[in-house]
Amino acid sequence: GLGAAVLVSTGGAGLALHQARAQGAPRKIVPNLRSALIVVDVQNCFTPGGSLAVKQGDEIVPLINKLAKNFTNVVVTQDWHTPGHVSFASTHGKKPFEQVDLPYGKQTLWPDHCVQGTEEAALHKDLSIAHAQLVIRKGYNKGVDSYSAFLEADRKTPTGLAGYLKARNINRVFVCGLATDFCVAWTALDARKAAFEAYVIEDACRGIDLMGSLGRAWADMKKAGVHRIQSTDIAAA
């Protein structure tokens, strides 16, 4: 009867899964020459002691150093704002984490952070990826923010990253860094819009989680076809 058929089919699937595990570790993702690791905003301002510190933001640094060894192609990003940047609450006489309406839409306001050329804006001292090929700076236009490493917050000004990756025949990006729910998520979402295959390495990121932003970011990424993976899903080179 039906009951028996259901039993047999679930039993079969369960057995197959079990056998796959018994035969060895699940298949790992092998980065190749068409893959790039994008290390987002691992800067002093976003790590403990910084002006916009992400909780446990420094914990991911050793993991990212290790991960980077599995990638021939690595791109590092830096949030790189002017003094008096439009994303700073102080510019508007407002408090951090309030919102304002700007010509390009709603902007969350932040403490002053990552000002060009300051020690705060430097990469974290323990980040060690000598073979990184490109450092892309973003948010350098005084009147426009840029969470994404691909497109500014006006949603039309490119940073040049998509062109760079495409010129180098890269079709798959793996994103890690800070913060999961802002610069990492926007970068992964824009990677999808630019037709890259996109993976976010969850344990190599930390989030801010401002009023549910972390859950929303994961939901948006899932909808856009971003793969949510762990560092252990990537094969060691």
The number of beta carbons lying within 10 Å of the beta carbon of residue 227 is 16
Pairing between strand 172-178 and 134-138?
Answer: unpaired
Rule CB under 5 A: choose which of 79, 120, 152, 190 binds Zn ion.
79
Residue facing Zn ion at closest CB distance: 79
Smallest distance from ligand VGL to CB 70, Å: 23
153: left (phi over 0), alpha (psi -120 to 50) or beta: alpha
Angle between helices 185-193 and 213-223 (to 10 degrees): 20
- The dihedrals phi and psi of 36, each to the nearest 5 degrees, come to -135, 140
Token duo for residue 135:
């450092």
Residue 112 interacts with Zn ion (CB under 5 A): yes or no: no
Binding pattern for the stretch 160-179 against ligand VGL, x by CB under 6 A and - elsewhere: ------------------xx
Question: Applying CB under 6 A, what is the total number of residues that bind ligand VGL?
Answer: 9
Please identify, using beta-carbon distances, which residue of 111 and 128 lies nearer to Zn ion.
111
178 binds, among ligand VGL, Zn ion, none (CB under 5 to 8 A by kind): ligand VGL
Q: Within 37-56, which residues bind ligand VGL (CB under 6 A)? A: 41, 46
Residue 76 interacts with ligand VGL (CB under 6 A): yes or no: no
Please identify, using beta-carbon distances, which residue of 31 and 191 lies nearer to ligand VGL.
191
Please identify, using beta-carbon distances, which residue of 41 and 120 lies nearer to ligand VGL.
41
Stretch that binds Zn ion, among 20-28, 78-86, 121-129, 173-181 (CB under 5 A): 78-86
- Omega into 22 within 30° of 0, i.e. cis? no
Residue 182 interacts with ligand VGL (CB under 6 A): yes or no: yes
Q: Within 126-155, which residues bind ligand VGL (CB under 6 A)? A: 147
3-class SS string, 67-124 = HHCCCCCEEEEEECECCCCCCEHHHHCCCCCCEEEECCEEEECECCCCECCCHHHCEC
Gap between the Cα atoms of 95 and 158, Å rounded? 29
Residue 183 interacts with ligand VGL (CB under 6 A): yes or no: yes
Gap between the Cα atoms of 112 and 127, Å rounded? 23
Residues recognised as catalytic: 41, 138, 183
CA 232 from chain centre, in angstroms, equals 17
Q: Within 86-115, which residues bind ligand VGL (CB under 6 A)? A: 110
DSSP 153: T
* Residues making contact with Zn ion (CB under 5 A): 79
* Residues making contact with ligand VGL (CB under 6 A): 41, 46, 79, 110, 147, 178-179, 182-183
